[in-house]
Structure 1
Amino acid sequence: MSSLAAAARAGRGRSLAEKGSVPLRYWILWSTILGAAVFVFYVLLTPIWLGIRAAAWVAEFRARRAR
């Protein structure tokens, strides 16, 4: 068991006020990953999903019309 974990359990750990600011490189990395994820979801996956749904609706319409 580390002394830091033991101190945190005892209430003597570092407070949030003692933490420094987040380095700029982490903000840039986070923004880049978030931007890529938004692009993949909205630009790539959403049209694919809509195409699959449209194909299912057409198939259902044709199946009902064939009865």
Structure 2
Amino acid sequence: MRAAMANAEVADDVLDYDPTALRLETEMAKVTGKEAALFVPSGTMGNLVSVLVHCNIRGK
């Protein structure tokens, strides 16, 4: 696992794109039969994204 992490091709996903994350997202979209997927680094972030998708007004 350490060798895979050390040899992984990475970039800045915010400014450009991360080829490893892009491959993971593409594969997960295929597996789940969806148009696209989004990698989030924690369950908490995933939960937050899920809730915010259903909110029409935020921050009030």
Report the TM-score when normalising by structure 1.
Answer: 0.28
- Structure with greater contact order relative to length (CA < 8 Å, sep ≥ 6): 2
Bigger CA radius of gyration: 1
Query: Higher helix fraction: Structure 1 or Structure 2?
Result: 1
